[in-house]
Amino acid sequence: MTGATMPDLRGRPASRHPTAALLLLASIVVTLLAASAAPTPLYATYAAEWHFSPITTTVVFGTYALAVLVSLLLLGRISDHLGRRPVLLVSLGIAVAAMIVFLTAGSVPALLVARAVQGVATGAAIGAVGAGMLDLHKERGALANSVAPGIGTAVGVVGSAAVVQFLPFPTHLIYLLLIAAYLAQAIGVLLLRETVTRAPGALRSLRPELSLPRATRGAVAVAAPVLFAVWSLVGFYGALAPGIVAGMAHSHAPLLGGLGLFLAAAVGTVPVLALRTVPARTVLHLGTIGLLAGIALVVGSVSAGSAVGFFVGTAIAGLGFGAGFQGGIRTVVPLAAPHERAGVLSLLYIVCYLGMGGPAVLGGVLAVRLGSLPAAARDYGIGVLVLGALALAGLLLRRPRRPAAPSPRPEPVRATVGATASGCPDRLPDPAGE
């Protein structure tokens, strides 16, 4: 290996316990995504105190998604040049600043600022921490990249709801707990040894660029529509579901309001674990089919006012979300070289957050124009159905590439051709061609 890609983990506690290092990095993803979901059960409290409409909720939600997108575009590749540790430490510091703004927020503008700062921290960290997990172990790192977001979202929404419903200082305590978690993780990052050496071009990497390594382009064309479709489901549950559930159950209990997002995210971790040995392309198919079946039941249940049907459909759609997200990550990321991983992961998350943020804001506009949350939810759900159908059509139309015909003249076997010093292939097959 060259110095630019050497995962040098010697001489520090994390190097003697690589599993601990991987768990630490995964916990950062969990905490960041938990923090992103934490305000969801609080929106009803904020709305009651500050008297804002459903469209304000979706604008606040969309502000976070937009900030993540901008941060990913500007900072998504910088850890490939500066290293994972400094980027993570700065990101955790920004995340702490966001929690402080939440703690002192007394109006909608302050809430918007907090969500924007939080989005910058998440966007800056997500590529670095994801690439760091892959640096430590490609297969286990890819699995952690797939499962951690769902766990984080589920933990964040149910933890925040429990704090709001059962503990004192509901608009403060959850943020204090997150600050403590960030500070503990920052100490852990300080103990890690850098997994990539610094490389020139850090300033140049700040210019927004959507180019992809050639080896990943075909796989991204396959995976991106599925990622966009399944993450639009997250936007639905983050922006509209609390109000929908409150109306169907005739209860404004925070735990009940956050149950939809919790269920979708928690169930989404099941296929990540259960299908990890199934070919990535097959997992993408299963994800889109699960999304279509689940959201169709959700739309029908909203029209019928059935809370039971809504939650059953949510669980099915959650399975589709987890499978679709895992399939997308596994299809693309193994094809990227170590010094390309943060940039590739950042681009995939750009697709995800576009799918989450854009439709969520549109859902808020629909809620105001139609004057009805159930009507807005039905239209949003139909939109997710269309996105899922288009993604499935793309998968079916884009056939796997056939393997190249064997050469009529056999080449002599050379130990150094097509292999690294370890004897492993120096390039993985394209999962899009599975």
Contact 365, 55 (CB under 8 A): yes
Q: How far apart are CA 68 and CA 32, in angstroms?
A: 11
Percent of the chain with pLDDT over 90: 21
395-433: burial string, b at 16+ Cβ within 10 Å, e else: beeeeeeeeeeeeeeeeeeeeeeeeeeeeeeeeeebbbe
Q: What angle do CA 241, 311, 326 make, to 5 degrees?
A: 85
Task: Please report the pLDDT score of residue 310 as a whole number.
Answer: 92
The DSSP annotation for 316-330 comes to HHHHHHHHHHHHHHH
Give the C-alpha distances (Å, rounded to integers) separating 412 from 22, 98, 406.
41, 60, 14
385 vs 363: which has the higher pLDDT: 385
Structural domain range at position 351:
13-196+213-398+419-433
Give the C-alpha distances (Å, rounded to integers) separating 244 from 261, 316, 374.
12, 18, 6
Q: What is the CATH number of the domain that holds 143?
A: 1.20.1250.20
Helix (H), strand (E) counts: the chain? 18, 0
Q: Is 21 helix (H, G, I), strand (E, B) or coil?
A: helix
pLDDT at 89 over 70: yes
Q: What angle do CA 321, 46, 379 make, to 5 degrees?
A: 40
Can you name the residues that pair with 425 across neighbouring β-strands? 419
Task: Flag whether 286 is in a domain.
Answer: yes
Name which of 247-261, 278-292, 298-312, 393-407 the model is least confident about.
Answer: 393-407
Task: Please report the pLDDT score of residue 71 as a whole number.
Answer: 87
Q: How far apart are CA 222 and CA 288, in angstroms?
A: 12
pTM of the model: 0.72
Q: How far apart are CA 320 and CA 159, in angstroms?
A: 24
Pull the structure tokens for residue 80.
Answer: 């490939």
Task: Flag whether 244 is in a domain.
Answer: yes
Task: Flag whether 89 is in a domain.
Answer: yes
26-66 per-position pLDDT tens digit? 899 899 988 888 887 787 778 778 877 767 777 787 788 88
Task: Flag whether 403 is in a domain.
Answer: no
137-155 per-position pLDDT tens digit? 777 877 787 788 778 888 8
State how many domains the chain has: 1
Pull the structure tokens for residue 287.
Answer: 């994800």
Task: Flag whether 271 is in a domain.
Answer: yes
Question: What is the distance between the terminal CA atoms of the chain, rounded to a whole angstrom?
Answer: 28
